[in-house]
Structure 1
């Protein structure tokens, strides 16, 4: 078997803290590395394989049909009838998966019986039997592939995961503010106007229902009476002072901090997709808090948006009434049998790809994408379930492959 110089095996190493591709090739009949030469092309733009006078041109043909092998044969430069040659081609892909292709005569060439699916990256083994002789060749046809040692990958933060099923949750964004729930806020007024003789609490103080708040001497009876808390909560406003007259104003405000809601402004285009009870992710100054849709109003405000109320499930201790907040409201949820993280997606030629990892080698997988939601993308084709793929810092793999010049070659 002739081992031919093919596309360089892509090997990566560390050089001054950077990954640099090394290109190694082996010439037929020798063990020393030598410069990569472009393979000889035939009249059909295929690769020429020669053994003495016998020669064949192996081409991936994809005009109007899925990619397939077609082979033209000559002996001493003269065409050979395709039915006179018994030919097989084996493609050994990353992970040692083998595609064995048989051929049948058609017109003046042999036509392969299998689609050559992407990526076109494999070791090609060709065996041809003609006139009692066996001719064989083997060469590398790699694209979108590189090798990075595990310790280097760890140092560069390259993370991986196994491709599998996922729950995709579609959400719509909205902005709003934190408000007090019904009966969660009490503004305290004097029953009878008079002079404030004592204030029993301080700003920020937590009180229980029934605790004394303010004592007032009535203008009518000249007798003192005490206002008490009608709910447990925190004193969040205290504009009154001892010696002042009440004058019909609010003397203090109590708020139950555990009874806060988020009120998000949602426009009609998204409103029809919402349902009570669906989950909401709230973000307040970088902190994520979970909630559920509690109420969807049937009226719009002056901004032509609906003020959707969200019950907060998490700890509200860090929240303040009136605080601005961002929310993401669930509109749909579905299970898919295969999905990948969007962080792993990269562009390769005209494809969207992820990089599959086998041992210390990485190789593109061209994807057929489905629905997207949050961090996940549904995969309809191009990736086998259980494949380990790059999720974090996939751009490092892309850059290494681009430096290697692993282009598409038929």
Structure 2
């Protein structure tokens, strides 16, 4: 009798594992992607621009993660051509960001997204594996609206993209690990029952074994390293934005003050996200959240940091004054969201006084709220960036007092 069942495989390679040269080469595409996405927030971005940035960032990050998880689970069995094809797809997506609301560029972005997404999903499908930590990788239904959008033009296209992103988020967070395992076992049992009436020829048995499913978990240490590398790339984009803007600006005291503040802002974000965090997620203590929560937080936090990276470039570009008001509220909102996540994680994963945590977080959030109303047209950007630095310094200092010996 042929059987189809669900195997449980925990991907935990022996010994400490680091990113391979192939994976580091693959990550180079993130440099281009983040740089292009940052341009969506230049000038005077409105709510529609910010919404488009969020959708496209989620799309780019999702495809990057799909192939990153494939390499994480496959390890030494990773097929080079899959990562290289995926890398090319992400490159096309990055190139199409500029002018993505135009017909041809939007079509190219949607095609590249859908193809890369299916490649990432099929990489697991061919191996008969389901990633329990991030099931969206395997279940690619969210790519369907993107495929439909290839044939749709006009204002409806971004809404289809947003629908695809929402579907992916729903699949990831609506089903618990236990529910996913139970569903897979039920499907395997249904398939086994259906095959009971078939002839038990050797070839049929080989086919059945070929359809066995393996539920895999990620190598958490290796994944944290890859997530941290992505965060470094995002922060590096901020440094590039500073250098690019300063190279064309008039060098005076206003520029020096703005550049120094922008660099200090990135250093503080690095400290909280990487030196005092894990996988680019700030303020994680000894008790880390489940992997799928960690991945969701990584996407959220790096998206906020990428917005700040775009903002510091605008600050330096307008160091002599005339800063667009939209830049002030965009940066204040991004930093406020970052600090809210850091506050929640610190309370969740660390041992310490809640009163001390609130004493660190609330004044910093109040500063962000004040910066959101900054009159950019009438003041120099140096004041804005140093207020944001002050918010981070206060929060970081408060977090040191909040730490306990058990969580350090």
**Normalising by the residue count of structure 1, what TM-score does the alignment of the two structures yield?**
0.25
Larger radius of gyration: 1
**Normalising by the residue count of structure 2, what TM-score does the alignment of the two structures yield?**
0.25
- Answer 1 or 2: which has greater strand percent: 1
Bigger RCO (CA 8 Å, 6+ sep): 2
